[in-house]
Amino acid sequence: MRRLVATVFCITMFAPAPALLAQAKETIQGYAEWRSGTVLVVDGQRVRPGERTRYTDRRWDAIELGDEVKVEGERQPDGSFLARVVTAKANGTAVFEEDAIDQANQAEDEWLKAGEIADDEEDAAPPMKIYERGRRVDRVRAIVNRLVPGYLDRDAYRVYVIDSKDWNAFAMANGSIWVNTGLMADMDDDELAIVLGHELVHVTHEHLRKSMKKDMWYGLLQAGVGVMTDSDTAAVIAAGISLVRENKYSRDLEDQADRVGLRYAYEAGFDTSVAPRLWRRFDEKYGSEDKVTNYLLGDHSRAVDRVRKLDTQIALNYRDGAGGRMRRQDAQSTGGRTDPEPATRKPSRTATPTTAAPAPAESRSLADALASLKKGMTPDEVVVLLGKPVSFEKIGDRLVLHYEDDFDVQFVDGRLYKVKPRSS
């Protein structure tokens, strides 16, 4: 969270040619967060149905804002995405989601009780004061209110300002957002909106929970099949707050925070064209060896790659030349909420489950079920623990059950051999 890979780089002055962006076969996956006519915005991209679009579950008109959506299709000359195959489902409570929220609640309560937060980069540095009110808090609050998509409850997001000269911000799974005074002093509202949009996506797209789930998989793979102890699970959960503050999200999750964060800023009426300039400023300020190098990057692409990707997103999705400025008047009059849909999802300080019913293999019980698996089990025994797979395949003496939560269970000669996560 604190570092920016500092490289002397040049940024192209021209957006990618539209013809080169057309008809590229892609798969995008995220949440449906805006609807305008027949267009849905998924993963920050404008997605359109076609006459031959195939649906594996919900039809296009039945997809609700907040649903998880996976789309296979092609990029069109206007930068939109033509859907060929669409899979959509309600966003339920998933593995580690409640744990991530509980962990964030505990940290937030402890920091607010102390009125300060320790500098996790320098042990000898004095604690940093937390401001819960005042003009700087009001400024962040106003920007966040505009950034939060209309299907979410903006009141579920709390903002705090930390007294530190470093350019830093982070957001936790329970909806608390923390911004340094140094970042606020040196950023205009458009630049600050880009940073806060990025951080907000880490919350709305449950990146901490997904990272914790990946750590769980590593533990399972190291231990064989399903022998992860309670202490192992606790260690994964306890690492969550450090992961957030130090920004150790995977490259894929950081890239998604960039893509969708741009969409949040654009829909709120902020100027998305400042994003490349923003990363140049970080590079110029900190250089390659400073302690805050790699801020907001974590395991992200190099700075030059990041700017290239942002330029591509601007060319694909925000070609009005205003980068959101044309939308500013409407956004200010509506608080950035361009869709009338009511709020249906929000992070919770009490880890309240969402209203959508989780699938049998989701929630914390999945981790328990995985921990109960033993080599040599029959397929019937595994199905009793994990529920029915979404599909299966038989290859010689091997049987593979494919589960919706991104993993496969492999059998050899009718006996459990391996549990394997699918790459995402």
What are the boundaries of each domain within the chain?
18-89, 97-207+247-334, 373-421
Least confident of 104-113, 209-218, 269-278, 402-411: 209-218
Q: In the predicted model, is pLDDT for residue 298 greater than 50?
A: no
Least confident of 7-11, 167-171, 282-286: 7-11
What confidence tier does 180 reach under pLDDT thresholds 50, 70, 90?
A: very high
**Residues 30-58: pLDDT tens digits?**
999 999 999 999 999 999 999 999 999 89
Q: CA-based diameter of the chain, in Å? A: 67
Distance CA 104, CA 210 (A): 15
Residue 416 three-state SS: strand
pLDDT value of residue 339: 40
pLDDT value of residue 421: 64
Amino acid found at 281: R
pLDDT value of residue 268: 93
Q: In the predicted model, is pLDDT for residue 242 greater than 60?
A: no
118, 129 Cβ separation under 8 angstroms: no
Distance CA 342, CA 152 (A): 7
What confidence tier does 381 reach under pLDDT thresholds 50, 70, 90?
A: confident
91, 164 Cβ separation under 8 angstroms: no
Distance CA 173, CA 152 (A): 14
pLDDT value of residue 62: 95
Report the percent of the chain where pLDDT is more than 90: 38
Least confident of 34-43, 268-277, 292-301: 292-301
Helices (H) and strands (E) in the chain, counts: 14, 15
Q: What CATH number matches the domain at 97-207+247-334, 3.30.2010.10, 3.40.50.740, 3.40.50.300, 2.40.50.100?
A: 3.30.2010.10
Distance CA 266, CA 268 (A): 5
Residue 85 three-state SS: strand
C-alpha distances out from residue 105 to 75, 102, 185, 310, 346, Å: 41, 5, 28, 33, 14
pLDDT value of residue 343: 43
C-alpha distances out from residue 160 to 115, 157, 171, 198, Å: 11, 10, 10, 17
Least confident of 42-46, 149-153, 289-293, 342-346: 289-293
Quote the pTM value.
Answer: 0.69
Smallest CA-to-CA distance from 115 within 151, 170, 163, 70 is with 163
**Residues 305-315: pLDDT tens digits?**
777 888 888 88
144, 165 Cβ separation under 8 angstroms: no
Q: In the predicted model, is pLDDT for residue 163 greater than 90?
A: yes
Distance CA 47, CA 43 (A): 9
What are the φ and ψ backbone dihedral angles of 384, each rounded to 5 degrees?
-60, -40
Least confident of 328-332, 385-389, 390-394: 328-332
Distance CA 275, CA 62 (A): 34
pLDDT value of residue 121: 59
Q: Indicate the angle between helix axes 207-223 and 364-372, nearest 10 degrees.
A: 10
Residue scoring higher pLDDT (11 or 224): 224
Compute the mean pLDDT over every residue in the chain, rounded to the nearest whole number.
75
Strand residue runs (E) in 268-327: none
**What would you report as the CA-atom Rg of the chain, rounded to the nearest whole angstrom?**
22
Least confident of 134-143, 198-207, 223-232, 361-370: 223-232
Residue with tokens 């000269």: 165
Q: Domain spanning 18-89 has what CATH number? A: 2.40.50.140
